Amino acid sequence: MKTIRLSDKEIDFLSALYEDEIQQTENYVNQLKQILGKLGKKIESGMTEIKVEPKKRGRKPGQKKAAVKPVKKAKKRGRKPGKKVAKPVPAKIETPKIEKKKPLKKKKPRKVLNYRIKPKPLPKPVPPATPPAEEKKE
């Protein structure tokens, strides 16, 4: 973790700045309480002073680590082995056998032949029947 090193002057300046911020906030809260008191609302003070204690640093250099506790063996998981009790086997009941239906076979699709069929010749056209011509008289 990175650390920031500050000189004594900078630390004094920052502490004074934050104390001033706290004082201004307390004055603001007191003004709000006065306004609510004039409006007829009574407010119980839920504010308590917060004391900031310096955080404890980790282990000091040069100290030995605490003694390591012995590791316990992991317990086996699952059911514990116990006495096996023979269960009575129920008598088998004979059931009539049911014949299974055979599945239907799927029909194979017809093969499409790829060859040309010779066209049949069309019959010759027959002229329409005409009435017999009359003989000419001369």
Give a three-class secondary structure readout of the chain: CCCCCCCHHHHHHHHHHHHHHHHHHHHHHHHHHHHHHHCCCCCCCCCCCCCCCCCCCCCCCCCCCCCCCCCCCCCCCCCCCCCCCCCCCCCCCCCCCCCCCCCCCCCCCCCCCCCCCCCCCCCCCCCCCCCCCCCCCC
pLDDT at 47: 60
Number of domains in the chain: 1
Domain span at residue 21 reads 1-40
pLDDT tens over the chain, length 138 residues: 789 899 999 999 999 999 999 999 999 999 988 888 888 877 776 666 667 777 777 777 776 666 677 777 888 887 777 777 667 777 777 777 777 777 777 778 777 766 677 778 888 888 777 766 666 555
Residue 121 lies in a domain: no
Residue 19 lies in a domain: yes
pTM of the predicted model as reported, rounded to 2 decimal places? 0.31
